Amino acid sequence: MALIAVGLDHEHASLDLLERATVLEHEWVKVLRTLVSHRNIHEAVFVSTCLRTEVVAVIDRFHGAIEEITATLSQVTGLALSEFEEHLSVHFDRGVANHLFSVSAGLRSVVPGEFEVLGQLRRALELASDEHVAGPMLTDLFQKALTSGRRVRNETSIARGTTSFAHAAVEVTLESLADDASGANVVVVGAGQLAGGVVRSLLAAPAGIGRVVVCNRTLSKAEDLRRTLSDERIAVAPLSELDDHLARARAVVVAVEVPDPLITTETLHLRARPLLAMDLAVPRGVARDVDTLEGVTRIDIGALHERVNQALDDRREAVTAAETIVADDVEKYVEDQRARGAAAIVSDLRAHFDTLVAAEFQRRSSEIDALGEPEAELLRSVVRSVVAKIAHRPTTALKESAGTDQGARLSEAVRTLFDI
């Protein structure tokens, strides 16, 4: 069995394609069950965010698994294979570890070192584990990747400054508001992790935001966020009152999963002042044509790239240090996997020989028993000793070469020669 990662990400696909390929989190279970129903896929983890839609899996045949994964992606996203196959990123075996560890470290994020990705990967693994489609191989891979990601943030300054996707979005929003930022009323749509990060960043901004209204479909979650942050500038409202609050707001940040845009030209009919709309939703939470209205400015994820480039310029050394840590952790993970593989095959080889000996003793039991007990026990001892000596050199070679390419080749040869 082998590891594979197949998906779309912001480095290789347009934001428009990523938006259309996004699968809302409540549909991930269906994706996971579809994936493991295929003959070549044994384990699977699925994640879909505004920046990536990706499958990580344990597979048998490479090409067969590629076909099964891409067919599943086409089915769950409603996209024809021809629309996204040229934009797919594919990683295999060691490349999967390199990729996932880098993602966890924030090296493949719009904002280098951002924290949200750790939560996204953790939730994806937890869901796959709950559905019993993530076995020991993927669980170990994701846990080691998450540990490496935390190490990168603890041992480097990559997360200094613009520390998250939410933080970057707020910085761009406030810079766009300029002098209007001080005392401004801002509406935040959503009450999840991303929305919570947006609210925190708004309240901490030196510009001095006047009021933040958290609008959410489930009002209790918005109330929980207000209690957690404990700031008198926070107000909460149900999503049904969004239009009324937009009429009095200077800016709105949409940070929630939605099947259709929440803010359209129609929803802004009560607006009496200029409005800046920051769209972080997946799919889009702000209709593309709202900026045709006088006084309305729409900003989406693409506008964050300039902020990211500035952050990256300030953190070149930290990124290099993070890459070094990732490379070191990947090497340790690969060596550990190879060593485990060697231990498993040594155990399988010994069990194979023991089974052969036991089967032969059973087949010739009447003849052996006819020898008398002392002679029969001596015969059994001699046979076991000879078999142990035959097995000694292969098992020693497997142990000594564990964690090397030669060890991998020897393991494969032993499995082939002894049919184990």
For residue 285, the tally of other CB atoms under 10 A from its CB is 24
> Cα 361 to chain center, whole Å?
52
Interatomic CA distance for residues 187 and 216, integer angstroms: 10
Which is nearest to 243 in space by CA: 218, 211, 268, 264? 268
From residue 243, how far is each of 125, 212, 269, 279 by CA, in Å?
37, 15, 8, 16
Q: What angle do CA 117, 149, 300 make, to 5 degrees?
A: 25
Catalytic: 215? no
Residue 188 φ/ψ, nearest 5 degrees: -115, 120
Alpha helices, DSSP H, located in 294-404: 304-314, 316-363, 365-369, 373-400
Interatomic CA distance for residues 32 and 133, integer angstroms: 7
What is the rounded radius of gyration, in angstroms, for the C-alpha atoms of the chain?
Answer: 28
Per the residue annotation, which of 44, 50, 166, 170 is the catalytic one?
A: 50
State the greatest distance between any 2 C-alpha atoms of the chain, in Å, as a whole number.
Answer: 105
Interatomic CA distance for residues 338 and 412, integer angstroms: 12
Q: Which residues pair with 44 in a beta bridge?
A: 57
> Cβ neighbours of residue 63 under 8 Å, at least 6 residues apart?
none
For residue 293, the tally of other CB atoms under 10 A from its CB is 14
Torsion of CA 120, 122, 124, 125, to 10 degrees: 160
Interatomic CA distance for residues 119 and 134, integer angstroms: 17
Interatomic CA distance for residues 342 and 326, integer angstroms: 24
Interatomic CA distance for residues 205 and 199, integer angstroms: 10
Task: Specify the length of the chain in residues.
Answer: 420
Which is nearest to 228 in space by CA: 278, 258, 189, 193? 193
Interatomic CA distance for residues 391 and 387, integer angstroms: 6
Residues labelled as active-site residues: 50
